[in-house]
Structure formats: structure tokens, C-alpha cells
Amino acid sequence: MVMDAKPDSHRTTGGAPSARPPKSRINWSWLGVVPFFAFAIMFLILPSLSIFVRSFEGPEGQFTLDNIFAIFHGRDFINAYRTSLTISLITAVSGGIFGFLLAYSVILGGLPSVARSFLLTFSGVASNFAGVPLAFAFVATIGNAGLVTRIIENILNVDIHARGFTIYSIWGLSIVYMYFQFPLMVLIMAPALDGLRREWREACENLGGTELHYWRYVALPILMPTLLGTMILLFGNAFGAYATAYAFSGSFINLITIVIGAQIQGDVLYNPGLGNALALGMIVIMSLSMVGYLTLQRRAARWLR
Amino acid sequence: MAFLEINNVSKTFGKTTAVKDFNLKVEKGELVSFLGPSGCGKTTTLRMVAGFEVPSSGEIIIDGKDVTYEPPNRRPVGMVFQSYALFPNMNVAANIGFGLKIAKRSREEINQRVNEMLELIHMPGYGNRYPHQLSGGQQQRVALARALAMHPEVLLLDEPLSALDAKIRVSLRGEIRSIQRELGITTVYVTHDQEEALSISDRVVVMNNAQIEQIGPPFEIYNFPQTEFVAQFVGTLNAVNAEVVDPKAKILKFEGQQLQTAFSLDKLHSGDKVMIAIRPERLSFASQEKKANILKGKVQNITFLGAVVRIQIGIDSLNFYMDTFNNPYLALPKIGEDVEITCSAEAVLALKERKESQG
Amino acid sequence: MKKVNIFAWFIFILGIFYFFLPLFATLEFSLRMKKGVYSFEAFRVAFEDPKFYQNFGYSFLWAVLTIIFSLLLVVPTAYWVHWKLQKIRPLVEFITLMPFVTPAVVLVFGLIRLYGKPPLNLTPTPIPLIAGYIILSFPYMYRSVDSGLRAIDIRTLTEAALSMGAGWGTIISQVIFPNIRVAILSGVFLTFAIVMGEFTFASLLSWPAFGPYMEEIGSMRAYTPQALSLVSFGLTWFSMMIMQSLGRGAKGEEQIAVAH
Ligand SMILES: Nc1ncnc2c1ncn2[C@@H]1O[C@H](COP(=O)(O)OP(=O)(O)OP(=O)(O)O)[C@@H](O)[C@H]1O
Ligand SMILES: [Mg+2]
């Protein structure tokens, strides 16, 4: 009670030196972040918003849903979304699982510690090695005259390309995308696996649990938010990828990013509203996956709050 | 036959010897604590009992059964970790009931046992909290309950209180002791806090350098340390090198002053070197009536420690500490004053050299 | 434990195989330009082309500009947020993470539609390109600087410096910057690696850069593209190595790149 008597004299002597006039109660410190927010609004938020608004605009600027319907009418667009989604799902799940196992083996699998630093270095490089040069690398590997193609042909006498495999297919592109997908998983899972404390495993054993019990009841539930989050990240990573597919000289494979890129270059069908709607579709899918992630994570990690 | 036996156990990690020739028998219902400086092998010994480490040699027997090579999940042992090690993804009830769930007990049985345990640790109603919503002391009590829920035959605690602040440490160790007595569970308690070890244990095992220095009840460890290490590690001590003057009459001398001990010097000869030790609280100012065993010195410093006043007295080049109970009406000497101090012959301990004890 | 170990080795070797096979194949491929013998002919051809140096130079220029403006934008903001505006930190964090979920194609599409015509026609200038790159760099820049600031108690440091009468220039240059230099540099090199190989923005905004150049060569020639691919890999490798040796502590999250 005594302390309450003169609260103000305490407060003003704290952070702010004498310069501030006592009248001003407004907090001016937000001014310091104005440039950042101005930039973000101008080059990130407004462009996204304009896509949203213009998706519902006709040629004369009137409100319309035609653009949205147009997506569902053109079979190519739906197919492009489907192809993109399929590749993203395949590489997110398989890249996620393989990356997780890889991170597990170097961190908890009892491999020498050089293996670990080696893998982490490589993952850092490989997760950033994408786009055009990655496409070339895989042309040299599993393309028509690629090393693996030739080896298989020489040894097994099988021409995989004659049997229908092509690098421009969903599976071919998935193999290529895996090159940057699983290293990303490794990079994120490694610290998470490091965070599993030895005592948890020992406590579990001490209480009669086996290795399986430990993973089922302790380790996986603890890792689940990170696992899910990273898989969503991988999904978005593949979903937005453009350069790699484009470098296989473009239109062999009908990805949604390629379609939008073509729209930008303005050669296909000249309908700006449709382009906006296609881009909006991508934003919606990404947002949905984010929302899905957040709900899953909230459920998986009740114990965090 | 003892309930828990650790026979001739040694453990080496590569070139380091963590535990060497460890021998201990713990009776049923007894609380034994391991006391020693950091790195002396306490945790390693405990982990071998729990089954997390396999001894390099020797055997571990629980209730007549050799468990040396049993995996941890098949030992009747409950463990409480220094860092609590509660599963962060489970609430308190699920943590306590985890072992029972693994053992596929019925839900009713688990619930009932969990509630019993929550009562035992005085935390009923906390079942739905998650570990991060508990204080450190509460977390440690839950960890204790989790270890006890499975009715283990041996309870192991590895510095369970070292992450807590002093007040809670004292109250929680009392609580642990009373729960342990109530359940009559055989317990090994690791600590590097000598006060904790002395106050909680039936017997204390003092370790140093991977080896046992002395085993005994707290009273004995404190009052009759057998080695210099034990004497130094447990409590404050005045230890000096002295020379035997007359082994029959038990007279020693150091810095030109003579002192009598009550302990036998039979094996020694005149002129032999021996280390002697006197606890500060056994020293007092010499009075007119009592003029035996006098040491002359000069007051160097006086430190007020609350219930006790510690006086530092210089005897030639050596410093002696003397403790007296605080009494506001007692006149203390001034710094720089010449004083005479004394102690009974029983207070003068002659210690074994470190090398002898190893033999 | 033994069984787990074999499994771990198996996975590890599989992973290493996945890493190296394409690199090895690329090298082998690039050496096959002359019929019948392995030669560095493809590299010679690649390095002979004056456009190689031109485009490389352009990419370098874009990278430098991006880094400068990104730093100017991110460092003061992160600092200010740490010092004065802890409340809005989640918002700033959210914005800096948005590029992870906004595909580059979509962003560039929005930029062109918004700034590609009057009243604000920016597409003749490299502003949309650099702006896009800065947005791309946000996650790495902000996160490295943020973790650098988190590692030191900048509030106490700033207030201590202020109380000793230091001016703002002194505080920034003598107190804050030296403490987060490593964090900043790791953000810088990651941004560098990303911009140097970037294709989507440069191509769709029609600016010369190394990425589109490689693509162009790819559609014109055989063997040389693989040589360029290795050059590009070397560049990424180089940047990552520098980053690793810089910040042993700042590994992990900061190395994660997403924009392809
Ligand atoms: N897994 C291991 N590998 C190698 N050396 C180990 C291992 N575990 C323990 N040691 C070594 O064995 C010795 C004893 O360690 P231990 O953990 O038993 O000490 P402690 O008495 O519990 O110490 P503290 O009080 O610090 O916990 C130390 O020198 C330690 O470095
Ligand atoms: Mg220990």
C-alpha cells in the first residue's frame, strides 16, 4: 500500500532521460520501424493485395467472378495445379522422411561426428543449389545422355527413356526437387533432434519402456510440430519453384508456376484478370497449408502453452 | 544378506577410470548417499545400478539377483534425474502414470495410483498441468512420484536438488526423507553437498578420485574422518602437519607448541610426521581453571556467520579457525590481540596419510 | 544398437550418394565436349564468352545492391525492435517469413502488374528487381541479425553506452556493430549465394543476370551448361563455407534457403 503512494516519480526516472516533456504520452518509438513497414507494404503486401483485388476485376474494372470460373473451365489450369500439388506433396513427404532419417542417423545413429558435420555442410550447400544449374546437373545425370542413363543402358541393357521415363515427368521432376528438399529437412531437423535430451530416453527406459515406446510416446510427439512445420515448408518450397522446371526448356511440364510465368511474359491468352486469378490460387493454396499447419501444430503442441 | 550389493565394480571410459573397486552393501530400507567432488564417479556408479552403464568389471546384485547385465527397463529400479527429465509433452498425471501405461495396467489402476502418488507428494489437483507450468521444486516432486509409481525396489536419486534454491532444497530433502521412510524403500542418493548428505542419510559413502574414501553413518564421518580428504571435504577443518613427540603419552608438536591427542599413536615413533585435524567448534578460549592443551596465537580476523562467530587465529605461520556460538553479551577479543586457545585431547584427530588408505 | 548403426550407415551413404552422383555426372558430362577424350573444352568455351563476364558482373551488381539496401533496412529495424518495440516483434517476424510462403513467381507477377504501368512505372528501373531480392533476403538477413542481437543484451549495452554519454554514431559503430558482425556477415553471404544464381525475378523482369544467361546457354549448347552449373555450384559452396567458418554458433536455421 505504501508503495502505491507515489508511482509516478518511479516511472519517469526509469528508461527515459530528461529530454521528454511530461505532457507527451504518445509513444513515438514506432517511427523507427516506418521504413521497414513502408517497404514491406509497397513491395510485398500491396502486390499481393492487388492480385487479390484484380482477380475479381473484369476488363473494365467491374466486379466479376469470371476469372475464377475461367480457371475451372480451362482444363490446362486445373491440370497445372494438380501437377504442381502432386510434385509438392511427393517431394515434401518423401524429402521430409528421407531428410529426417538422414538427420537421425548422423545425430542419434552412432555415426562418427565427422559424418555429422560433413552432412550438415553439404545440406547447407545443396539446399541452396537449385534452379537452372540444378536442372543442368540432372540432365547430365538422368537425361537422355546422362551418366546414370548410360550406365543402366550399358549394364542392364535397358533404355529407361525408351521405357517411358523422362526427366520432364512428375517423377523425373520429383527426383530433381529432392536434391534441395531433403537437405532442407536435414538442416531443420538436426537441431531439433539435438534438442531431445538423453534423460528423456533414460527416464523412459527406467520406467520399463523400450526404444519403440520412447519414439511412440516421447520423441515423436515432441518432434511433431517441427516435423509438420518443415514438411509444410518443403511443400511451399516445391510448389513455388519455377526456375528448375523452366530450365528444362519450359513447357514440357505444365506447372502452375510455369503457366503464370507465361502469363507474365504475355504470350498465351491476353487476359490480365485470369493471370491474377491463377496467382491468387497459389496464394490461397499456400495460405491454406499455413492454416492447416497452424491448426495441426496447435493440436500437436498443446504442451507448449 | 544385503538388499543391494555393489561388488568390486570398476568402470573405465577409454583411458579415464570413472569408478574403481567399488564395494557397497545397502540394507533394505536404508538411505545411503554418495558424497564427493565433481567428477569423482558418483553418477557413473548410480548409472551402473540403474543399468545405463555396464560395469567394466564386478557385479551388481539386487535382492539376491545378479542384474549386472540386465537392461534398464528390466530392473526394479526407479530413478530421479538431476534435471527432472519430465516428458514435456505429457501432463503431470501422464508422466506419473507412464510406467504403468507401458506395463499395460488398466486405466482405473493407473488413475488410482496416480492419485495416490499426487497425495504422497502433496500435489493433488495438479494432474492436468504440464511440466513447464510447474516450479522447479514441483517438477522434482513429480519426478519422484513418477519414479515411485512403479513400486521400484531401489530408488536412485542423482543430485535431485542441485538445480533448486537453498530454501526449497532444505524443505524438499526433508520431504524426500520422510517419503522414503514411509515407503521403506532402499535408496541411493547422490549429492556433492555435504550438509545434505549428513542430514538425510543413514550412511554416507565419501568418494574421491573414482574410489571410496570412507563409509559410515553421518556422525562417524563427521567426527571421526579416517582420511585427510574426508576430514577436509566434510565440514571445516584445521589440518596441520605435526611431529610425534611421545607416542606412549600421545604428545605431538607443531610450530614449537605441544598438543595431546586421545587417539592411539602406537604404531608411530618419536619424530614421525603425522597430520592432525581439529574441528573449529571444538576449540575454545582457555580459561583460568583449564590450562591443558594450550595453543598461543594472535587474532587475525572475526567473521560473523549468524548463529556462529568464526575467529581466525594465527599461530606462527598457520591459521586456525575457531567457532563459538554467537552471544551478544559475550566480549570478543579484538583483532591483533594475543589469545590462548584450547581443546580436549579427543578433539585432536590423527589422520591416516592418503597413501596408506589405498593399500 | 548394432542394428541401428547399420541402418544409419545405409541411410547416410544413400544421402551422400544423392549429393554426389549429380555433381559427378555433371563433371563427367562437361568433360565430354571433345569426342572420345575427356577435356576441359567446355570450360574453355564457357570462359571465352564475353557475355559470361557481363552477366556475371550484372548479378554481382544486383547482389551488392541487394545486400546494401537489405542491411540498411533490416539492421536498424531489428535493432529498434529489440530495443524499443518488443511488442511488434512477432509482426516483423511474420513479415520477414512471408517470402517463404509467397512464391517468387507470384510476387514478381504482383510487382509487374502494380508497377509496370503509370502512375508509378518502375519496371524500366531495376527497382522492382532489387526490391524483390530484398524481400527474398529478408528471412535470412532478419533471422541472422535477430539471433545476433539476441545473443547480446543490446538493451543494456545501449543504455550503458547512452549513460556514459556516447552518441548514436558511436553506439552503432562501436557497440552494436562489432557485436553482431558475424551474424550480419552470415546473412550477407547467404543473400549473395541466392542472388548470384537467381533466375525467376531477373528473367521475368528482363534484366541481364547469371541465371537467365545460364538458361540461355542451356537452350543453345550442350556441355557448356554443365560447366556453368559447376561454376555456380562452386560459388554456392564458397559462400556456404565462408558462412560456416564465420559463425560456428550461428548454424542451422540461418542456412535455410527457399526461393528457387
Ligand atoms: N560417457 C562417458 N564417457 C567418458 N567419460 C565419462 C563418461 N561418463 C563419465 N565420464 C568420466 O568419468 C568420471 C566420473 O564422472 P561422473 O559423472 O560419475 O562424476 P560425478 O561424480 O557424478 O560428478 P558430478 O558431481 O560433476 O556430477 C569423469 O571424469 C567423467 O569425465
Ligand atoms: Mg554427477
Q: Is A32 close to C219, i.e. CB distance below 8 A?
A: no
Partners for B (CB, 8 Å, 3+ pairs)? A
Confidence check on the interface: ipTM exceeds 0.95, yes or no: no
Q: What number does the ligand 1 atom closest to the CA of B43 have?
A: 22
pLDDT band at C145 (very low <50, low <70, confident <90, very high): confident
Is residue A227 within 8 Å of residue A96, measured between CB atoms? yes
Residue holding cell 473484369?
A58
* Domain tally, chain A: 1
Distance from the alpha carbon of residue B56 to the mean position of ligand 1, in angstroms: 15
Sheet holding B57-62, edge to edge: B16-26, B4-13, B57-62, B65-66
Q: How far apart are the first and last CA of chain A?
A: 33
Q: Is A202 close to B52, i.e. CB distance below 8 A?
A: yes
CA dist B261 and B343 (Å) reads: 10
> What is the least distance, in Å, from the CA of B37 to any CA of chain A?
22
Q: Pull the grid cell for residue B278.
A: 581439529
CA dist A9 and A22 (Å) reads: 12
B39 pocket-lining for ligand 1 (C-beta < 6 Å): yes
Strand partners, B304: B309
- Give the closest residue to A245 by CA, choosing from A178, A181, A167, A179: A167
Is residue B88 within 8 Å of residue B131, measured between CB atoms? yes
**How many C-beta atoms lie closer than 10 Å to residue B150's C-beta?**
22
Q: What is the CA radius of gyration of chain B?
A: 25
Average pLDDT over residues A278-290: 88
pLDDT band at C224 (very low <50, low <70, confident <90, very high): confident
Is residue B277 within 8 Å of residue B320, measured between CB atoms? no
Task: Note the Cα C243 to chain centre separation in Å.
Answer: 11
B134 or B327: which carries more pLDDT confidence? B134
- What is the domain class of C40-259 according to CATH? mainly alpha
Is residue A173 classed exposed, middle or buried when 0-12, 13-18 and 19+ CB atoms within 10 A define those classes? buried
Domain, as residue range, for A275:
50-303
- DSSP-derived letter for residue B119 is H
Pairs of residues, one from chain A and one from chain B, whose beta carbons lie less than 8 Å apart = 71
B235 pocket-lining for ligand 1 (C-beta < 6 Å): no
CA dist B138 and B299 (Å) reads: 47
Distance from the alpha carbon of residue B13 to the mean position of ligand 1, in angstroms: 9
Residue type, A169: S
Q: Is A222 close to B150, i.e. CB distance below 8 A?
A: no
Residue type, B308: V
Residues of chain B with C-beta less than 8 angstroms from the C-beta of A202: 50, 52, 72, 79, 81, 85
Q: What is the predicted pLDDT for the residue at A301?
A: 67
B238 pocket-lining for ligand 1 (C-beta < 6 Å): no
pTM of the model: 0.82
Residue A112 lies in a domain: yes
Residues of chain A with C-beta less than 8 angstroms from the C-beta of B79: 202-203, 206
- pLDDT cut 70: percent of chain A above it: 86
Is residue A32 within 8 Å of residue C76, measured between CB atoms? yes
CA dist B115 and B123 (Å) reads: 9
Residues C103-143 pLDDT 10s: 888 899 889 888 887 778 888 889 999 999 999 999 888 88
**Taking all residues of chain A, what is their mean pLDDT, rounded to a whole number?**
82
> What is the least distance, in Å, from the CA of C257 to any CA of chain A?
6
The residues near B264 (Cβ < 8 Å, ≥ 6 apart) are B250
Q: What is the CA radius of gyration of chain C?
A: 22
- Give the closest residue to A200 by CA, choosing from C32, B90, B333, B148: B90
Q: Which of these ranges, B310-314, C112-116, C211-215, has the smallest mean pLDDT?
A: C112-116
- DSSP-derived letter for residue B164 is S
CA distances C103 to B219, B336, C257, Å, are 74, 82, 13
Task: Supply the residue whose CA is at minimum distance from atom 6 of ligand 1.
Answer: B13
Q: What is the predicted pLDDT for the residue at A274?
A: 81
**How many C-beta atoms lie closer than 10 Å to residue C146's C-beta?**
24
Beta strand pairing call for B186-191 and B31-35: parallel
Q: Pull the grid cell for residue C204.
A: 521475368
pLDDT over 80 at A7, yes or no: no
CA dist A301 and B88 (Å) reads: 10
CA dist B105 and B103 (Å) reads: 6
Give the angle B159-B162-B165 at the CA atoms, nearest 5°: 150
Residue holding cell 555433381?
C23
Nearest CB to A206: which of B78, B87, B90?
A: B78
Residues A26-69 pLDDT 10s: 677 778 889 999 999 999 999 988 888 888 887 777 888 888 88
- Give the closest residue to B299 by CA, choosing from B335, B324, B326: B335
**How many C-beta atoms lie closer than 10 Å to residue B276's C-beta?**
19
> What is the least distance, in Å, from the CA of A224 to any CA of chain B?
10
- Chain B nearest-CA residue for A220: B89
Q: Which of these ranges, A250-254, A297-301, B229-233, C185-189, has the smallest mean pLDDT?
A: A250-254
Tally of residues, chain A: 305
Task: Supply the residue whose CA is at minimum distance from atom 13 of ligand 1.
Answer: B18
> What is the least distance, in Å, from the CA of C35 to any CA of chain A?
14
**Backbone dihedral angles phi then psi of residue B287, each to the nearest 5 degrees:** -110, 175
Site to probe by mutation for ligand 1, drawn from B19, B35, B40, B83 as the one with most ligand atoms within 8 Å of Cβ, is: B40
Q: Is A303 close to B90, i.e. CB distance below 8 A?
A: yes
Residue type, B328: P
Residues C39-60 pLDDT 10s: 888 888 888 889 889 999 999 9
Q: How far apart are the first and last CA of chain C?
A: 40
Residue type, B203: R
Angle of helix C104-115 relative to helix A46-55, nearest 10 degrees, comes to 80
Q: Is A209 close to B130, i.e. CB distance below 8 A?
A: no
Distance from the alpha carbon of residue B158 to the mean position of ligand 2, in angstroms: 7
Residue B283, SS3?
A: coil
Residues B91-140 pLDDT 10s: 999 999 999 999 999 999 999 999 999 999 999 999 999 998 999 999 99
CA dist B349 and C197 (Å) reads: 79
Which of the given ranges, B59-63, B252-256, C157-161, has the highest pLDDT on average?
B59-63
Residue A5 lies in a domain: no
Residues of chain A with C-beta less than 8 angstroms from the C-beta of C18: 178-179, 182
CATH value at residue A73: 1.10.3720.10
**How many C-beta atoms lie closer than 10 Å to residue A76's C-beta?**
12
Residue A10 lies in a domain: no
Judged by its nearest atom, the ligand closest to the C-alpha of residue B38 is: 1
Average pLDDT over residues C28-48: 85
CA dist C3 and C20 (Å) reads: 26
Residues C66-114 pLDDT 10s: 999 999 999 889 988 888 888 888 888 888 888 877 888 889 988 988 8
**How many C-beta atoms lie closer than 10 Å to residue B182's C-beta?**
9
**Backbone dihedral angles phi then psi of residue B342, each to the nearest 5 degrees:** -145, 165
pLDDT over 60 at B353, yes or no: no
Is residue B231 within 8 Å of residue B62, measured between CB atoms? no
pLDDT over 90 at A179, yes or no: yes
What 3 state SS string does chain A have?
A: CHHHHCHHHHHHHCCCCCCCCCCCCCCHHHHHHHHHHHHHHHHHHHHHHHHHHHHCECCCCCECCHHHHHHHHCHHHHHHHHHHHHHHHHHHHHHHHHHHHHHHHHHCCCCCHHHHHHHHHHHHHHCCCCCHHHHHHHHHHHCCCCHHHHHHHHHHCCCCCCCCCCCCCHHHHHHHHHHHHHHHHHHHHHHHHHCCCHHHHHHHHHCCCCHHHHHHHHHHHHHHHHHHHHHHHHHHHHHCCCHHHHHCCCCCCCCHHHHHHHHHHCCCCCCHHHHHHHHHHHHHHHHHHHHHHHHHHHHHCHHHC
Q: What number does the ligand 1 atom closest to the CA of B47 have?
A: 18
Q: Which of these ranges, A7-16, B36-45, B314-323, has the smallest mean pLDDT?
A: A7-16
CA dist B94 and C75 (Å) reads: 45
Q: Is A204 close to B98, i.e. CB distance below 8 A?
A: yes
